[in-house]
Amino acid sequence: MKKLIGALALAAMVATSAFAEVSFGGWVRTLPTYVGSDGEDIKTAALSASWGGPFWARWDASWTSDDGKAGLKFKLAADKGGVGTHDDVGIWLKPIDQLKVEIGNLDNFGGLRSDMGFGSWNWLRPSTILVEDEGITFGRGQNGQGLGLLITPVDALKIAVVTPLENTLQRGDIGFGNASVAAGYSIDGLGTIKAGFFGEYNAAGDASKYGRIDGAFDLTGIDKLFLTVGVSYRLASSDYWKGVHAHDAQKKNDAGEWVAETDAKKIADNAWASTTNNYMLKAALAASYGITEAFKVSANFAMYMFNKDVADDPAMQFGVGADYALSDSLSVTGDVRMLMPNNKIDPSLSFLVGLVGSIGSNASLGIGFQGITGFGDKARAGDLKVVTATAGNKFAWAVPLKAELSF
């Protein structure tokens, strides 16, 4: 009887979905590294991904009703800890053609983020990357559980509104204090203008930090050239900034207590990561150009300014990279990146040289050599998990393999 009921349920599902659109996809990038050095000792055998810990595979699935008015999507990610949801998971509804309502876990809702990843961003990401290649000029907005409204009054204009949702009811100032609204307007033959407000309310009840305003322009109207420029400004009271920098001027002792910090160079040991999350003004640009069908160059620049000097701001990053196709199935890639936090802390320099071969139409396998010198992970949480660069200009390196597959 149970088998009969199961068969009938399956038949009903198939019949219901007969005229609906169902799609599946998958992607994985993994970076096993068998040898490297932290500048002092040789390290062996580690598994990572570009963004950190091991990541074995991701599976995406979506369903759209036959009338295009509703759908669902979910992404699963697997690693040694098991399988869990990842990025976009939820349902969407279109009560009218100009409005899409989405409920669930939202990532880059509206697709307005300005991305231009190259070189080591796609390998073991070094800590010389002060501002992420993803969203370097315009961020993705709120990421997590929420309700999103995507409004398209005309084809060229896109407005994305996101209100975060918690698992329990919150005070209104907290629940709506992290809401965001962003818009993009596309100009035929030129590019896209973007603007947005992203709430950054402190959930602990500190209302002296309000959010940030982003503005950017993506130039896409020139053949083989992509260029994006943008600025971001944080809104906060003067009391908030005073609190941030009073905290940054201290360090934790062995007992976990905050004590006065007198050595400016030691700021990098404890305060730099939190400081870069509290910039007042960010300006950034990135560009890539295909010189020939086989040869492409990329570059980016970003600068942080602070409300109060942080061992003498600004902080800056520079990066330049190149990709060259040796044949239809073999290519070389590389980049050089520099982080200049301020004039009292040594700069950090990293590089990558990689060789990548395609395997069929859906996969690739590569080997690279990456190095970093300077204070490295003292600037921010380093993503070279095998290579933890240290202060004193020691040279750390790694030889990662890179396996990538998508369908």
pLDDT score of 4 = 38
What is the percent of the chain where pLDDT is above 70?
A: 75
Domain assignment present for 16: no
| Higher local confidence (pLDDT), 252 or 116 | 116
pLDDT of 90 over the 70 cut: yes
Q: Could you tell me the pLDDT band of residue 310, with boundaries at 50, 70 and 90?
A: low
Where is average pLDDT lowest: 7-11, 85-89, 400-404?
A: 7-11
Expressed as residue numbers, the domain containing 144 is 22-406
| Tens digit of each residue's pLDDT (9 = 90 or more) over 12-45 | 444 444 458 999 999 999 888 888 887 777 877 7
Residue 201 lies in a domain: yes
Choose the weakest-confidence range: 11-20, 150-159, 203-212, 322-331.
11-20
Would residue 9 count as lying in a domain?
no
pLDDT in tens, 349-388: 899 999 999 999 999 999 999 988 875 444 333 344 444 4
How far out from the chain centre does Cα 26 lie? 19
Q: Structurally, how many domains does the chain consist of?
A: 1
CB atoms within 10 A of CB 40: 10
Most trustworthy range by pLDDT among 12-21, 204-213, 287-296, 310-319: 287-296
pLDDT digits (tens, 9 = 90+) for 245-294: 655 555 556 665 655 554 444 444 444 555 666 788 999 999 999 999 99
12 within a domain of the structure (yes/no): no
148-202 per-position pLDDT tens digit: 999 999 999 999 999 988 777 766 666 677 899 999 999 999 999 999 999 887 6
pLDDT over 80 (residue 124): yes
Is residue 7 included in any domain, yes or no?
A: no
Assess if residue 159 is contained within a domain: yes
Residue/partner pairs of 32-37 with CB below 8 Å, 24 or more apart: 32/400, 32/401, 32/403, 33/124, 33/386, 33/398, 33/399, 33/400, 33/401, 34/399, 34/401, 35/398, 35/399, 36/386, 36/387, 36/396, 36/397, 36/398, 36/399, 37/387, 37/395, 37/396, 37/397, 37/398
Whether 8 is in a domain gets the answer no
SS (H, E, C) 21-50: EEEEEEEEEEEEEEEEECCCCEECCEEEEC
CATH assignment of the domain containing 140? 2.40.170.10
Say which amino acid occupies 237: S
